[in-house]
Amino acid sequence: MIGRLNHVAIVVPNLAAGTAVYRDTLGATVSAVQTLPEHGVHVVFVELPNTKIELLEPIDARSPIAKFLEKNPSGGMHHVCYEVADILAARDKLKAEGAKVLGDGTPRIGAHGKPVLFLNPKDFCGTLVELEQV
Ligand code: CO
């Protein structure tokens, strides 16, 4: 069911510093900053030959990732995103398997303008999983 790894998301306390690490130290191409108020994040995309890394910084203390940063003050890996062809079919299959889809199970529009869902880490080896329909 899952296809390519679309991206790995890393939460950072400071997006400018995270950008500098990936652009200057690691020599990657990093996008301009985008602000996604509906997700509570500022984000840059690190373009790699085979996937992307998203660096996420909370907009404010109400951001869904603010708590993550409280527990991981220097930042850390937040989720992995796998591509699926049909997100509703994927959701229904996962629910039938007993997996928990976060929120009300309705796909939201993610950072790339495509429908996404998040899955409970407890069901997926302790890792928050995002599914994106491509
Ligand atoms: Co993501």
For residue 112, the model assigns a pLDDT of 83
Instruction: 124-128: list long-range contacts, CB under 8 Å, 24+ apart.
Output: 124/99, 127/79, 127/80, 128/78, 128/79, 128/80
Domain that holds residue 93: 5-133
For residue 77, the model assigns a pLDDT of 98
What total of structural domains would you count in the chain? 1
Residue 38 has which token pair?
């509906």
Burial (0-12, 13-18, 19+ Cβ within 10 Å), 57: buried
Numbers of helices and strands, H then E, in the chain? 3, 9
For residue 111, the model assigns a pLDDT of 80
> Across the 134 residues of the chain, what is the mean pLDDT of every consecutive 10-residue run?
97 98 98 92 97 97 92 97 97 96 92 92 97 96
> What whole-number distance in Å separates Cα of residue 25 and Cα of residue 55?
15
Q: Give residue 1 CA to ligand 1 midpoint distance, Å.
A: 18
For residue 133, the model assigns a pLDDT of 97
Catalytic residues: 130
For residue 69, the model assigns a pLDDT of 95
Q: Give residue 40 CA to ligand 1 midpoint distance, Å.
A: 13
For residue 68, the model assigns a pLDDT of 95
For residue 64, the model assigns a pLDDT of 86
Residue 54 has which token pair?
């998203």
Q: Give residue 96 CA to ligand 1 midpoint distance, Å.
A: 24
For residue 30, the model assigns a pLDDT of 98
For the chain, the residue count is 134
For residue 23, the model assigns a pLDDT of 98
Q: Give residue 85 CA to ligand 1 midpoint distance, Å.
A: 16
Q: What is the CATH number of the domain that holds 98?
A: 3.10.180.10
Q: Give residue 10 CA to ligand 1 midpoint distance, Å.
A: 9
Residues paired with residue 81 on neighbouring β-strands, in sequence order: 7, 130
For residue 45, the model assigns a pLDDT of 97
* Sign of the torsion formed by the C-alpha atoms of 50, 10, 132 and 43: negative
